[in-house]
Structure 1
Amino acid sequence: MPEGDNVWQAATRMHAALAGKRLAQTDFRVPSFATLDLAGWTILDVVSRGKHLLHRLSPPEDADPSAGSAPLSIHSHLKMEGSWQVYGAGERWRKPAHTARVVLRTEDGTSAVGFSLGVLEVIPTAEEQTVVGHLGPDLLGADWNPALAEANLRAQPDRPIGLALLDQRNLAGIGNIYRNEVCFLARVHPATPVSEVRDLTGLVAMAQRLLEVNRNRGSRNTTGGFGPRGNSWVYGRAGQPCRRCHTRIQHGVLGEGGVSERDIYFCPRCQPPPQH
């Protein structure tokens, strides 16, 4: 399940492998861009914005200006199952070929392949704000602003904190795993209204800190210990003892009006449900 740290890692990995290189071949396996050929274009950089990825490209030097060859960005979103992988020349893909949605191959044979992408489109770089401008401050980005993130959350005081944290318009990068782990560490039940969270400032700081410490890890760990199977406090641990108080971890779902319900995990003792 990709979250902000996974997307940051993917962008960093691809930037290191592709930036400054010219494309020898592109293969877009989605109907809208199936005929698009960006051979000769140069990858300037690869960046993440919350859970979104942007490959920024410049046109060939000999491109015809009348053809409208302005810089382009390949915009993708991993959604629930997507991933980007980098391969050396002749290296065998580690995922089924039929799940590939785009292949970018540089002149030295390096390839970046996007598998099972939830969103894939090519837009003018000047119009990136149309696809990421709605996002709140990025927990792993240069624009991170904890005060703005907190103000965004407080703007809907009656909304459950567990839903507000997943709303990328408030702060960008938190997915369901971090949502559950942050709520546990803050001793807050996910259904608690934002206005009733005693230390929202601390909760926001903790969320950023968790993503920060995990962005360079090969395997996500929010606990800092408990051995190879102790990588989470509550997420995915329904029925197991709380690592703090040994009460059984409970599982439920949380959504708005039955829409977009997502799994929640919590300790009923450390995170008592709201009483109303």
Structure 2
Amino acid sequence: MPEGPSILILKEKVKQFKGDKVIAASCNNGTLDTNILTDQTIIDFKTWGKHFLICFPKFTIRIHMMMFGTYRINSHTEKPPRLHLQFEDGELNFYACLLQLIEEPLDEVYDWQADIMSDKWDTKKAIKKMKDIPDLLACDALMDQHIFSGVGNIIKNEVLFRSRIHPESVVAAIPPKKVKEMITEAIMYSFEFLEQRKEGTLKKHWQAYHKKECPRNHVPFINKDTGRSRRASFYCELCQVKY
């Protein structure tokens, strides 16, 4: 599943179409009436975590890449795209993604302060949200898009390893200083992820995700599905403390 930094890269790649008029559009599963897109001008592209937002004057199209979503810019595959947008000088195609029409103002739909890579990110608000959920585990906290929008399983694993926190730690039991460290690492690593993804070196820098051995203690990592979502966690029982 593309994480927040990858969606920011998508936003950068499609900026050429800002201000362009859609001359034709199609959706291969009927979840979106693409007639409303024809002759509409894109006024902006935005992101909120893993959500890619194509903004038109009176509505927005939300695209969520889910687990296997992909896109093509000025090219296409043989497989019909979930969403096709044709412009006078190019095209956008999105595959295996979830589409949603948003007619409300985006400020009423999204909490921009929850986006880990946004200038509006609010650490205090994230801490309060975590405190409001009894027995919340660290692995679930980081994957909760209402708290850490944009964080996915790669970022979760790398952040917990960096901050030396066991994924099944109860957040309420983690010392406040350590919680702030986890949040700081989440922000820092998200931006490192962005640069490494651009360079094509992301996997080279992984310390925990899909690794077999702890680089600190040189003992086997535990590979276990943890939390409510049962997503894979890779962790060291020696250096990642379970609170």
TM-score by length of 1: 0.80
Matching residue of 1:224: none
Q: Where do 4+ consecutive residues of structure 1 move more than 4 Å?
A: none
Q: C-alpha deviations, 1:184-242, integer Å up to 9, x for none? A: 10100000000222311111011011112222432363xxxxxxx632111111xx221
Code of the aligned partner of 1:253? D
Larger radius of gyration: 1
Matching residue of 2:239: 270
Code of the aligned partner of 2:54? H
Matching residue of 1:208: 187
Matching residue of 1:169: 146
Contact 1:50 1:135 in 2 (8 A): no
Matching residue of 2:2: 2
> Which SS does the other structure have where 2:165 is aligned?
coil
> Which of 124, 133, 143 pairs up with 2:110?
133
Matching residue of 1:112: 92
State the number of aligned residues.
239
Map residues 1-276 of structure 1 onto 2, 5 A cutoff: 1-14=1-14, 16-34=15-33, 36-58=35-57, 71-87=58-74, 91=75, 93=76, 95-98=77-80, 100-108=81-89, 110-117=90-97, 119-124=98-103, 126-128=104-106, 132-133=109-110, 137-156=114-133, 158-198=135-175, 199-216=178-195, 217-218=197-198, 219=200, 221=202, 230-237=204-211, 240-256=212-228, 260-274=229-243
Shift of 1:96: 4.5
**Larger proportion of helix:** 2
Shift of 1:249: 1.1
Code of the aligned partner of 2:25? T
Code of the aligned partner of 1:234? A
Code of the aligned partner of 1:111? E
Give the Cα–Cα distance (whole angstroms) in 2 for the partners of residues 245 and 116 of structure 1.
40
TM-score by length of 2: 0.90
Gaps of 5+ in 2: none
> Which SS does the other structure have where 1:32 is aligned?
coil
Structure 1 145/134 Cα, relative in aligned 2: closer, same or farther at 3 Å?
closer
Identity among equivalent pairs (%)? 24
Gaps of 5+ in 1: 59-70, 222-228
Q: C-alpha deviations, 1:81-104, integer Å up to 9, x for none? A: 1123311xxx4x2x4424x10011
